[in-house]
A and B are shown apart, each in its own frame.
Chain A
Amino acid sequence: NAGVMQNPRHLVRRRGQEARLRCSPMKGHSHVYWYRQLPEEGLKFMVYLQKENIIDESGMPKERFSAEFPKEGPSILRIQQVVRGDSAAYFCASSPSGADQPQHFGDGTRLSIL
């Protein structure tokens, strides 16, 4: 499968637990972006990463959220001490380079907080 791979597709956590969302970009893509879609709201940018570098994290909440894209392995979006308001669909996208390249989206991770 040459598409953007996200896992898990669905994730259920209790308040206070940690959530880890994974994203493997399309083959040949080195730029990864994370977006969040809250119920009945639009897609909101969170963070833009290249291998081992965070390029733009202007959309990340200041606390509890972090992201990485290591030299080896998938990109990880980590949410610590989850709260009910974190329930959303989290989408990862990738592009071959940055700037104005089209971004292709994965199927997303639906995070539910009990």
Chain B
Amino acid sequence: QKEVEQNSGPLSVPEGAIASLNCTYSDRVSQSFFWYRQYSGKSPELIMSIYSNGDKEDGRFTAQLNKASQYVSLLIRDSQPSDSATYLCAVNNQGGKLIFGQGTELSVKP
């Protein structure tokens, strides 16, 4: 079992729709969780961080964490073509290093 798993996609949504990206992790001691966006050929860009169960909203982005289910998700409301990118889920197991999922490719169609 991979430490951090994401659906590779591609996930295709129409412009204006809600995009839902999911991530599961295997290590129960994980304490901090991050979503990064990576455009092709570019570096990862931090979008959201979440540390406690529940929802955290920032603009059009909402991160959801459920530690009992070892599940973290990212919702993107009113998706725009500029949101088309690969979204990386990352987990920090208290040691400082981030463990990344393979990433989910999102395509927002105009």
A-to-B contact residues, CB < 8 Å: 31, 33, 35, 41-45, 48, 55-56, 58-59, 91, 93, 98-100, 102-108
Contact = CB atoms under 8 A, between A and B. Distances in A.
Nearest to A98: B96
The 8 A-B residue pairs whose C-beta atoms are closest, nearest first, are A100-B32, A45-B97, A43-B100, A98-B96, A105-B43, A42-B102, A48-B96, A102-B49
Nearest to B31: A100
Contacts of B98: 33, 35, 43, 45, 93, 103
Interface in B24-42: 31-32, 34, 36, 42
Interface string B46-58: 1001010000000
Contact of A43 (B31, B46, B88): B88
Contacts of A45: 97-99
A99 B88 contact: no
Contacts of B103: 42
Interface in B42-91: 42-46, 49, 51, 88, 90
A44 B102 CA distance: 10
Contact of B96 (A35, A44, A99, A106): A99
A93 to B, nearest CB: 8
B43 A91 contact: yes
A62 B88 CA distance: 27
B95 interface: yes
Contacts of A100: 31-32, 51, 92, 94
Interface centre among A91, A93, A102, A108 (most CB of B within 10 A): A102
A56 B43 contact: no
Interface centre among A41, A55, A100 (most CB of B within 10 A): A100
